[in-house]
Amino acid sequence: MIEFPAADVPAAQIALEELDLIYAFIYARVGNRADAEDLTQQVALKAIPRLRAEAAAASIRAYLFATARSVLAGFWAHRFGLPEEELREDVAPPAQHPPPGPRAESGAAATRATRILEALPANYRRVLELRFLRGYSLKEVAAETGSTVGGIKVMQLRALRAAAKVETDA
pTM: 0.46
pLDDT in the model for residue 86: 55
Look at residue 2 and tell me if it is in a domain. no
Say if residue 83 is in the same domain as residue 122. Answer: no
pLDDT at 23: 93
pLDDT of amino acid 97: 44
Q: How crowded is residue 60: how many other Cβ atoms within 10 Å of its Cβ?
A: 22
DSSP 87-151: HHHHHSPPP-PPPSS----HHHHHHHHHHHHHHS-HHHHHHHIIIIIS---HHHHHHHHT--HHH
Q: How far apart are CA 19 and CA 125, in angstroms?
A: 31
Number of folded domains that form the chain: 2
Predicted confidence at residue 40, as pLDDT, reads 93
Residue at 6 is within a domain = no
Residue 15's pLDDT is 84
Series of mean pLDDT values for 10-residue runs along the chain (170 residues): 51 86 91 92 91 85 91 85 58 48 60 87 91 85 90 90 75
Structural domain includes residue 25: yes
The letter for the amino acid at 166 is V
